[in-house]
Structure formats: C-alpha cells, structure tokens
Structure 1
C-alpha cells in the first residue's frame, strides 16, 4: 500500500494540528485538499485512519500509518540536516519525546542542554507518567520515551537508563499535626497524602507495603513535580519525593524522612524507534551518559 510522501506529511500535520482547517493553513493548501489526501490514504490502506472529531483522533490503523509517517519524515529530515551541515542553523528537526515529570524536573532537561548543537533538533516534550509513556510510542506520537517498561514496544529498541530513588517525606509541622510528632507508619494509610495525579500509584503502593492495608486517606492532587515537592514542604500531606529534590531539605530539617531504610526505586528505560538515525543515535548517546551520572544503577 504505497503512500505518497506529501500524504504522509499531511497525516502527521493533521494529527498535530487537530483540525483540517489548521492543517491546511500550516501546509498552505485548502482544507478540501487535506481531506482528499486523507481519503486517498484510507483507500490505499483499506481502513479509516482518523476519526473526524474535533480534534481529529487517529484510529488503531491510523496509529500504524502515523508511526510510519513520522519515521519516514525523520529519515528525510536526517538526510536534509546532513546536506545542510555547515550552512548555519537552517531548519531544525522536531523531535517529540515522552518523559515523566520527575525526570524532567531533575536530570532530563540538563541532559538535553548538554547535547551538541549540531544535532539540529528542537524538542516537543510530552509529560506522562513513566508507566504510560509507551502508549505514546505505540501511537507514533513520539520517537522515544523514558519509561518504566523494560519490554520493547513493537518497532522500538530499549536499554536501561538507571534507577530513580524516592523517599517518603513530610514536613515537621505535618508530623506534629497528624502523626504525633514522629514518623508513625501505622497511621500512614489514614493521614493526608499528596499524589501527582490520578494515575500516580507510588504513594498507595508504599502504604500497602508498610501497613498491609489499602489506603483510605484524603488526598491532594498536584500535577507538577516542583509544586508537588513544595506542597509537601508546606505541610499539606506526605508523599514520595525524588531523592534529588529532598535530600537538602532533610539535612536542614525542613523535611522528615519517614522511612529512610525503605526507599522506593523506580527503574527507568529508554525506548526509541529502531531506526538508524544520526539524530536519535546522538540523542540516545547523550542521555545514556547523563543518566549514568545522575541516576542510581539498575
């Protein structure tokens, strides 16, 4: 089922922009031309590729073709970047990545900043829980992801990055108000807790491991890593915080480590498309080195 290059670009643009009109503006064609290209692709595939909602949503078949389209466009842009090398900045390749919030707030952005500028990339970061980033790989939304899943998604390769260590912490004020002024683990399933979002099971899993009970506590939801840590520092509740974000506060007494002998280690992996791409190879090499310096070994 051959797809024309312009049609593959049209599909990615439509999904990225969300509507036929917006895609048409970006491609400098009419909305009817965008619609016709999509219909032609659907006739070639023998399947519907996008749901005509607002915004449009790829179907399962559309995810397959979208992944193909992004891979073809990446190879094309890699070649163009090599031909442009030495001609100044020129156009840069857009690289969509899926990364968990805690990696973003600790080591990942600094790792990107250390990459050589001649990679010629600009980054579109999709923030997603490390247990769910693989869904963005399967759909073709991103080229690579930081994930907690060691099994490679179809069409991808995977390698270990390292372990992010979390500590259960609360503020002294919170401990005084809710835990009798000490790290009373027996109360942990009933006192207020801070969760990142409704997908975040780290706190619940910790409670189950130390109390053997299902948590019944009131909970706050704070969906930003730095604000999550700040909320705990201010005494709203207890929570699991990356070691990098809380060791200084523990040392100066602003936070209490509730169970210093029971850290929680989350293994992180790097999954990327299985393509020979100078851009993805360079990105992978730089992130591998940064993770080795900033994360605990697997």
Structure 2
C-alpha cells in the first residue's frame, strides 16, 4: 500500500515548486516534507522529484501525483457517509487544462457554476488548445478543453462545439495598410498579432482567405485580452473570438478584414473516466456554458 501522507507531500512539492512552499501549504515544516518525500523514494527505490528551482516530478512522480488526484476525487464522494470528522477542513481541488480563448469567453461561467454546486476549487493550467490533451495524458490534469478529438486512454471525449473567430483590425490600421482593399500583397506587408509560436490561426486564415503564404511583421502577445486591446490600438491585425469583437465590429471600432470570412476551431471536453460526482458536475457545467457560446 502507498503511504498517502508521504505521497501528499510529493504532490505538494510538485504543485508548489519548492519544499518550503509545500510545507506552508501542508501546515508542517520543510524538514518534515523532506523526510516524507525521501522516505517514500527509499521505499519505492526510485527518485520522484528532481530537486531544483522549481522542483519537477520524474515520470514516476507524475504518475503517482495523478493517482493521488484520482483518489482524492473518489474520496470526496465518500465524505458525507463517513461523518463530519473525516476530511474536515480539506477542500477538493480539481486540476484542469483550458485554452486562453475559452478562459476569456465561456469557461468562467462553467467554473462559477461548478464551484457553486460543489464548493470545490479548480487548479487551471493554461495552454494552447492543441496541447492541453498532452497535460491530460501526462497525468497533470483530470480534464481538459482541447482541440483534439482523438480519444485519450482512460478518458471520455465529448464535443463542445466550435469557437468562431473573425479577422479584425482598427480603422486606423486599415487606412494605413489596406488603402486599396485587403489584398494578398497588402496582407503580407501589414503587421499582425500572434499569441505565441504555436499559434497558427492567423497563418491558416490568411492562406484560406487570400492564398497568403507569408505574414508581415509579427507582434507576439500571449494574452487574449491584451491581444484585443492592441488590435484596437492599431498595433496589428489578428483573429479574435467572434463573441468578443461583435460589438466592436457593429460599432465600427474594429473592421473585419474580409466580412463573413470566419475561422472555426472545434473544441472538445476530455475527462478521466472516473465515476466521481465532482467530475460529473464539472462536465455538466462545461457543456452548459459552452452551449451558450460555441457553434454546434
């Protein structure tokens, strides 16, 4: 049998990044955390944490942390039957991975509904929708909003709908960079915004809309709201969730480069196959919130 207090110490170090912060989170001394981690490593005959700044889990350490998350999720359902003294003061935290644009649009509604229904908390890891499923495969999270429809072993995948995007620019940038209309040559010269090096949404849209193979100067802006603010200020053009820019387009604060030429990113909810009440309620909240924004 696993020593769960020691495993909890391992998970705390991985989550917090240092032994000191893990000790503060657990309410024990750093020495006690170190002893628990070292004792479990000696019993298992394997290193679980690579010491550093921050401390990182080994493959086995990550697997054991994922196991602990699942155990806590299942034990949460048992707490009412075991009486008030069992698990008193402990709050369930569910680790999930979400892409930035979902977090900026519809996912907060799901998170708020889940918290009201369960009084549990969420530990949200932010990542590109093409990479959130990797966090699920590694055991870092129990569920993810992802663009991957392929099943993850041990998980269930549900379609949520597609998030629609519109390519927009400020009136000032349109006047400066597209005086004769939005052509392929003009688009290749105009400055654009990209979220990060893994963001190819603008590239795909430009290729599909105008056959553009190369974008102009790129500003890297790793923030959904910052991305929109800088577009409004004329730093460059970019694709934005339609739900965030419809009012700006209608009011003339932003101009859609090719009206009606939208891009859609299908999204899925992939969650571990555990018959746990909290996870079921989170899934219900996610599907309900997504249904109000995403296109079916």
**TM-score by shorter chain over 0.5:** yes
- CA shift at 1:74, angstroms? 2.0
| Separation in 1, partners of 2:161, 2:81 | 32
Q: Distance in 2 between matches of 1:223 and 1:139?
A: 24
- TM-score computed with the length of structure 2 as normaliser: 0.90
**In structure 1, C-alpha distance between the alignment counterparts of 2:187 and 2:82, rounded to whole Å:** 60
Q: Secondary structure at the match of 2:269?
A: strand
Task: Report which stretch shifted further, 31-40 or 263-272.
Answer: 31-40
Q: Does 1:204 align with 2:203?
A: yes
Q: How far did residue 188 of structure 1 move?
A: 1.6
Per the TM alignment, residue 174 of structure 1 is displaced from its structure 2 partner at its CA by 0.6
Give the conservation status (yes or no) of the 8 Å contact 1:172–1:181.
no
The range that moved more, 58-67 or 180-189, is: 180-189
Distance 1:62 1:245 in 2: 40
Normalised by the length of structure 1, the TM-score is 0.89
Larger mean CA deviation between 27-36 and 50-59 belongs to: 27-36
Q: 1:172 and 2:171 equivalent?
A: yes
- How far apart, CA to CA, are the structure 2 residues paired with 1:43 and 1:90? 30
Cα deviation digits, residues 107-152 of structure 1 (max 9, x gap): 1102222347241212222221111112222333222111111123
Taking the aligned partners of 1:122 and 1:269, their CA distance within structure 2 comes to 22
Query: Aligned residue for 2:183?
Result: 184
| Helix, strand or coil at the partner of 1:114 | helix
Aligned residue in 2 for 1:235: 234
Instruction: Indicate conservation of the 8 Å contact 2:132/2:146, yes or no.
Output: yes
Q: Quick one: structure 1 residues 116 and 52, their matched pair in 2 at CA, closer, same or farther if it must change by over 3 Å?
A: closer
Distance 1:81 1:57, change over 3 A: farther
The answer to whether the Cα contact below 8 Å between 2:187 and 2:212 also exists between their aligned partners in 1 is no
Distance 1:43 1:158, change over 3 A: farther
Q: Deviations over 1:183-224 (max 9, x none)?
A: 334422221001122221111222233344432411112222
Q: Distance in 2 between matches of 1:82 and 1:235?
A: 59
1:175–1:181 CA distance, 2 compared to 1 (3 A): farther
CA distance 1:245–1:10, change in 2 (3 Å)? same
TM-aligned CA deviation for residue 60 of structure 1: 2.0
SS in 1 for 2:189: coil
How large is the Cα RMSD of the aligned pairs?
2.3
- Are 1:75 and 2:102 an aligned pair? no
Q: CA deviation at 1:162?
A: 0.8
Deviation at 1:46, TM superposition (A): 4.2
For residues 14 and 115 of structure 2, what CA distance do their matches in structure 1 show? 30
In 2, Cα distance between the equivalents of 1:77 and 1:285? Answer: 18
Deviation per CA, 1:267-296: give whole Å up to 9, x if none.
101111211110000110121122122210
Corresponding residue pairs, total: 293
Find the counterpart in structure 2 of residue 25 from structure 1: 24
Which stretch has the larger CA shift, 153-162 or 116-125? 116-125
- 8 Å Cα contact 1:99-1:146 kept in structure 2: yes
The 1-side partners of 2:214 and 2:112 are apart by: 40
| Maintained 8 Å contact 2:167/2:240 | yes
Write out per-residue CA displacement over residues 228-281 of structure 1, whole angstroms, 9 at most, x where no aligned residue: 112111111110111101111111222111123421110101111211110000
Deviation of 1:31 after TM superposition, in Å, equals 3.2
Is residue 95–residue 123 contact of structure 2 (8 Å, CA) maintained in 1? yes
CA shift in 2, pair 1:7/1:119, >3 Å:
same
